[in-house]
Structure 1
Amino acid sequence: MKIAVIGYGAIGRFLIEQLDAVPDIEITAIYSVPAPADRNDRIVDDLDALLATRPELVVECAGHGALSESGETTLRAGADLLVVSVGALADPALEQRLRTAARAGGRLLIAAGALGGLDALSTAREAGLESVSYVGRKSPAAWSHTPAENMVDLKSITSATTFLECDARTAALQFPQNANVVAALALAGLGFERTQVSLVVDPAANGNTHSFVARGAFGEITTTTRSTTLPANPKTSMLAPYSLVHSIKKRAGLIVV
C-alpha cells in the first residue's frame, strides 16, 4: 500500500521509522513545513506534490492547522485521510467541510490513539448510550506550555488537582496538544456537547492516564489506560503513534482484528 505523511515532528518521524520496516507499505512522500534539516528524496514542499505520488492513504500528524489547510483537498483527491489531530474536528465548520469532502472523495479515518474501548463505546451508542464522562490525568510537564498554566500553578502543585471540567468541545479546542482523545471519544459516543471532561494535573503521575465511564440501556463500560509518554514529547502517549501503525497495517490488510 502506498501512503504519504503530512508532518515530520515527533509522531511523524516515529511513524515513518516504524513503517519503513514493513515490506508491504511504501511511503511515497512526506510533506513538512518548514523543510527538515535531514531532508531526503521523499520530502516534498507542498500538498500538490504529495498528492501527485497517488497515495492510497494520507496520514496527518502535523497539528490542527495542518488538518484545516490540507484535509479537504486530500479527501477530494480521492485519498483516505487518517487523522491524528482529531481535536480539530471540535470546530463545527471544519468537521462539516471534511464530512462533505469525504462524501465526494476519500474516507476520513480516526485512530483510537491512546484511548482504549472506543469500539465498545460505538457499539453501546447503537444499543442505547446515555452518558459518557472522561478523566485525563498527566504530570505537570505534560501540561506545560498549555492554557493549564493560567489555571493552576504547575510548578508548586503537590497533589492531584482537577483544573478544568467542561464538555469535550471546549477541552479539545483549548488543549489541542493534549486532548485529542476526548474528541475521538466524543465522535465515537454522544458527541462533543454531551461528553463530559475532567482534566487533572498530578505530580505523582507516571505517564498519561485516560479513563472514561459510559452508561446506558446497554449497561456500563469503564476503561482506564495508562500509557508511557514519547521521550521526544511528554504531551503525547506512546500508544498514540502505535495506534496509527496498527490502523495503517489494518488498512493494508495485514491485520484483520
Structure 2
Amino acid sequence: MSEGPARRKVGIVGFGHLGQYLVRRLQDEGPRHGLELAFVWNRDAGKLQGKVPVSLQLQDLARFPEHEVDLVVEVAHPCVVRDHGASFLSGADFMVGSPTALADQVTEMRLREAARRGGHTLYVPRGALWGGEDIQRMDQRGVLQGLKVTMIKHPDSFRLEGALREQLRAGRAVLYEGPVRALCPLAPNNVNTMAAACMAAPSLGFDGVQGCLIADPGLPDWHVVEVEVTGPFGERRDQAFTVTTSRRNPASPGAVTGAATFPSFWSSLLGKCVCVWGGGNLPGGTD
C-alpha cells in the first residue's frame, strides 16, 4: 500500500509568542496539511525545556541540515536573517518573519543570490499587511504609483533603537514619516508590516514605499495599520485611483504583535505569502 505523499519538514527559529503559536499549530494540525515539525531553535534554549521534545531542540543553527528540513521559518529577530539566512537557503526554503532585515541592501542581495544558487525559495509572509496580494498584482501590472503604510500603537508596544526611542513621550506623537528603508533599523521589531509592503511592491521598494509610525497612549489594546494605495491617474492629474484601508488588530497591553497576526502567519505557512524569490511552492501554493 502507498504511504501517501511525504510531509514537508518545517524548522521554527524563534520561540517567543509567535514561535510558540506556530509550534503548537504544527504539532496539532501539521500532519493533515502535509507538514511536520523538524526542529525548534531559540536564543535562550532554556525556554524550550518541557515545551519541546529534546529530539526536536536545535542547539546550533549551523547544524540545521542534520534535521533534513524542507522549510526554515524565522520568527526571532532580523539579525538571524542577516547572519544565517544565506546558510538556510543553501539547504532549504526560507520564510522570513522579520523582513525589516531586507532593508539592508547587502543582506537582500546576499539572500537573493543564495536562493538562486541553492535552488530554493525565499518567502515573505503577509503578517499584518492587509491587501498585500492586490498591491502585488498592481505592481506586476505596472500601475502602482504610490504606497504608504501608517502604523499606530501604544508607546509600550514599541521596541525602538537610537534616536527614535528618545522621541517617545507622554502624548500622541509622530515618531517617523518617510521612506521605509531608513525606519527599519530604528524599529526592527515593529515595522515588519511596512517591510512586507516593500517586498510586495518591488517597483517602489524600501526607498519608494512611505512609512509613518505613530505612538498613541490612547490605544492600550489595539494596533492600527492604515494602508494607502495610489494607482493610475484618470484624465486629470488630480483624478487618481486610490484605496485606503484601516486594520484594527486587538493586542494585549505592551504586546509587539497583535492577536490577528498569529493566524495570518499560520495561513502564510500553508501557502499564502506576499511574495517569493525562487520557484518553489508551499503546500497550499502561493498567491
Alignment TM-score, normalising by the size of structure 1: 0.90
- Equivalent position of 2:72 in the other structure: 58
Distance change (3 Å), C-alpha of 1:137 and 1:30: same
Task: Kindly indicate whether residue 33 of structure 2 is the aligned counterpart of residue 21 of structure 1.
Answer: no
Distance change (3 Å), C-alpha of 1:215 and 1:247: same
- Contact kept in structure 1, 2:147 and 2:209, CA below 8 Å: yes
Partner deviation per Cα, 1:122-148 (whole Å, 9 max, x = no partner): 111123111111111101211265554
- Equivalent position of 2:277 in the other structure: none
- Equivalent position of 2:135 in the other structure: 121
Task: Kindly indicate whether residue 100 of structure 2 is the aligned counterpart of residue 87 of structure 1.
Answer: yes
Amino acid at match of 1:32: N
- Equivalent position of 1:141 in the other structure: 156
Alignment map for 1:123-202 (pairs within 5 Å):
123-127=137-141, 128-143=143-158, 146-147=161-162, 148-153=164-169, 156-157=170-171, 160-189=172-201, 190-202=204-216
Q: Percent identity?
A: 26
Deviation of the 1:247 alpha carbon: 1.5
- Contact kept in structure 1, 2:100 and 2:188, CA below 8 Å: yes
Deviation of the 1:230 alpha carbon: 5.6
Runs of 4+ with deviation above 6 angstroms: none
**Gaps in structure 1 of 5+ consecutive residues:** none
Query: What is the CA–CA distance in structure 2 between the aligned matches of 1:145 and 1:172, rounded to whole Å?
Result: 10
Amino acid at match of 2:243: I
- Equivalent position of 1:104 in the other structure: 117
Over aligned residues, Cα RMSD in angstroms? 2.0
Alignment TM-score, normalising by the size of structure 2: 0.81
Query: What is the CA–CA distance in structure 2 between the aligned matches of 1:169 and 1:240, rounded to whole Å?
Result: 22
Query: What is the CA–CA distance in structure 2 between the aligned matches of 1:99 and 1:123, rounded to whole Å?
Result: 21
- Contact kept in structure 1, 2:180 and 2:210, CA below 8 Å: yes
Query: What is the CA–CA distance in structure 2 between the aligned matches of 1:144 and 1:7, rounded to whole Å?
Result: 17
Larger radius of gyration between Structure 1 and Structure 2:
2
Distance change (3 Å), C-alpha of 1:10 and 1:230: farther
Deviation of the 1:256 alpha carbon: 7.8
Query: What is the CA–CA distance in structure 1 between the aligned matches of 2:128 and 2:251, rounded to whole Å?
Result: 10
Deviation of the 1:2 alpha carbon: 1.1
Partner deviation per Cα, 1:163-219 (whole Å, 9 max, x = no partner): 211211012121001011111111111111111111111122241111111112172
